[in-house]
Amino acid sequence: METKQSDMMGGLAKGLRVIEAFTVETPRLSISEASAIAGLDRATTRRCLLTLAEHGYCAYDGKYFTVTPRVLRLGTGCLATMPLPRIVQPWLDALSEEIGQSTSVAILDEAEIVYVARAAQRKVMSIALMPGSRLPAYCTSMGRVLLAALPAETARNRLLAAPLPQRTPRTITEIDRLMSALERVRTEGYAVVDEEVELGLRSIAVPIVNARGATVAALNTGFPASSETMEKAQERFLDPLLHVRQELFRILN
Amino acid sequence: METKQSDMMGGLAKGLRVIEAFTVETPRLSISEASAIAGLDRATTRRCLLTLAEHGYCAYDGKYFTVTPRVLRLGTGCLATMPLPRIVQPWLDALSEEIGQSTSVAILDEAEIVYVARAAQRKVMSIALMPGSRLPAYCTSMGRVLLAALPAETARNRLLAAPLPQRTPRTITEIDRLMSALERVRTEGYAVVDEEVELGLRSIAVPIVNARGATVAALNTGFPASSETMEKAQERFLDPLLHVRQELFRILN
DNA sequence: TGTATTTGTTGCGATATCGCACAAAGGAGT
DNA sequence: ACTCCTTTGTGCGATATCGCAACAAATACA
């Protein structure tokens, strides 16, 4: 079934690459810029952009293209599709209330985690997180939990294919140390990350497992780093997290 | 520049229609179902779906297709692109805290509003709202504010092109009454909706205006219907909303 | 069980796409 | 003004797409 050349539509694949060229760093693109980012011929890129504009996915001022809210229809089909956010939200709210910290649920997309639900408390992080937000998996507690659920070789390949910037002095960036961390997550059943994403931010994550035993998402809490040792923090937060994990396990199919 | 047939890519437009066939009501689609929804030939739909699957936007179990988190990359490019959510979030949080109710910011896409930021308090609505969520414009306070900012004829055309279901006994569905409501929003500068979306839910919205005087978004608060008259509720909530509107006006460019 | 209907797949020809090459149009610097 | 350089726009031929139609396989129904 794979790679049946005759059943592939080049134009569609190219158009999607062009849409993905629009990021937070490059929200406005000329034809040349878009073609450079997407790695396509300028003529082709131009035709993609004009098609997107014609159908309302892009706005065109004669020089620059920008994506419109219409493209959200493409993506939110997925988020809206998922029953998970709706199911977990009440537990997230209750857990957040109980432990007095922000809690979130995320899934994995390649080497990134995607937030699908969140109960925010105080603001610890400099960046605002919301459903749909993405963070790299290698340096986040939920990312470690989700990568640990994959076969080791798959996880390694994904990490090797992604950039692993040293976001803070404590960020682990060596592939072997990351793989060891994943191994530890597998045996302990949870992941702890101490100021590897951002200075001042700690987090603990546990897997959300469905009835078939597959890890479908991760649940975490993020809290400010303090003089308290990570072990002490773990004592406070791990049990409530595991309890919600257990409740969700009972419910998910 | 418009409708240059030679510069249009049919395959891309078709593929996007197929992606949009996946909604919350139809999250899993067979080839035939997708082709019926998208209005395309089965063969073409199949080639679109196989292409999407090949590139990771869909999962295929041999019978049904589902969209994967990867499609979120298409949409969140837009949300991430927008500076608005980041800018308004702190005000939203503060406002929500001050008045003790949920607050949101939304933009307009055709005849639907799209939530771009939200500070949730208690749960009034049966449906969970999050950034990217959509509601029809005709029966929501933010929708009325955003439609009112358009030329009357444009607003009328959008309303005529969209379904206007009677969601509750109080929902206004007649085009002329809706247009009068918009006119009133224009003169008063805010919109009030009383249990037209859902029984038990009231809301008040004000426009968010940029330096050029254009309405770029709407800000609202939703609160439970009670024995309190709508006028009393307005007294409590309108001033804080208008105050935030003013603050945002100072900041936006 | 047999028959009718729907669904998935494939061959094929008319038609559209796409990338090259080149022309035209701006912009920066002199 | 000029050149130089970048960017946008456009014929055109090789190649790929797409919708029809036909067929196979699965499912529904009697």
Lateral strand order in the sheet of A191-194: A134-136, A112-119, A102-109, A215-224, A201-209, A191-194
C-alpha B106 chain-centroid distance: 6
More confident residue, A184 or A212: A184
Q: B15: how many CB neighbours lie within 10 A of its CB? A: 28
Confidence of residue B124 (pLDDT cuts 50, 70, 90): low
For each of the domains in chain A, give its residue range(s) and CATH number, in order of start. Answer: 5-74 (1.10.10.10), 82-251 (3.30.450.40)
| Max CA distance (Å), chain A | 61
Please give the average per-residue pLDDT across B84-109, as a whole number. 88
The predicted structure's pLDDT at residue A138: 98
Phi-psi category of residue A30: left, alpha or beta, with phi > 0 → left and psi -120 to 50 → alpha: beta
Nearest chain B residue to A85, by CA: B128
Cβ <8 Å between B128 and A86: yes
Q: Taking the CA of residue A213 as centre, how many other CA atoms within 13 Å lie in the half-sphere pointing to its CB?
A: 0
What average pLDDT is seen over chain B? 89
How far CA B194 is from CA of A126, A171, B118, B127, B228, in Å, comes to: 37, 51, 20, 17, 12
Q: Is the CB of B3 under 7 A from strand C?
A: no
Structure tokens at B170: 């109080």
One-letter amino acid for residue B104 of the chain = S
CA distances to A26, B85, B177, B218 from B81, rounded to whole Å, are 8, 10, 36, 18
Confidence band of A25 (pLDDT split at 50, 70, 90)? confident
Of A16, A67, A128, the CB nearest to B85: A128
Beta carbons of A49 and A60 less than 8 angstroms apart:
yes
The protein footprint on chain D, as nucleotides within 7 A of a CB, is 6-11, 16-21
Report the 10 Å Cβ neighbour count for B225: 16
In the prediction, which pLDDT does B2 show? 43
Neighbours of B124 (CB within 10 A): 17
pLDDT beyond 80 at A92 = yes
Between B27 and B241, where is the model more confident?
A: B241
Provide the CA A41 to C1' D8 distance, Å, integer: 13
- Dihedral of CA atoms A198, A204, A208, A214 in degrees, nearest 10, equals 80
What's the mean pLDDT when you consider all of chain A? 88
Q: How far away is chain B from the Cα of A18, in angstroms, using its nearest Cα?
A: 10
The gap between B199 CA and D18 C1' (Å) is: 48
Cα B132 to the center of its chain, rounded Å? 7
A131 CB near a chain B CB, below 8 Å? Answer: yes
SS3 call for A50: helix
Highest mean pLDDT among A6-20, A114-128, A159-173, A221-235: A159-173
CB of A10 nearer than 7 A to strand C: yes
**Triad B12, B77, A66: Cα angle to 5°:** 70
Q: Shortest Cα distance from B229 to chain A (angstroms)? A: 30
Q: Which helix (H) or strand (E) element contains residue B192?
A: strand B191-194
In B, which residues are within 8 Å of A41 by CB distance? none
Which of residues 138 through 157 in chain B touch A, CB cutoff 8 A? none
pLDDT band at residue A238 using 50, 70 and 90 as cut-offs: very high
Q: Model pTM?
A: 0.83
Please answer yes or no on whether A132 and B131 come within 8 Å at the CB atom.
Answer: yes
pLDDT of res. A2: 43
Inspect the interface and report whether the beta carbons of B68 and A78 lie closer than 8 Å: yes
Would you call A5 an interface residue with chain B, using a CB distance cutoff of 8 Å?
no
Task: Measure the CA–CA gap between B161 and B10, rounded to whole angstroms.
Answer: 24
Kindly tell me if the per-residue pLDDT of B94 is higher than 70.
yes
pLDDT band at B26 (very low <50, low <70, confident <90, very high): confident
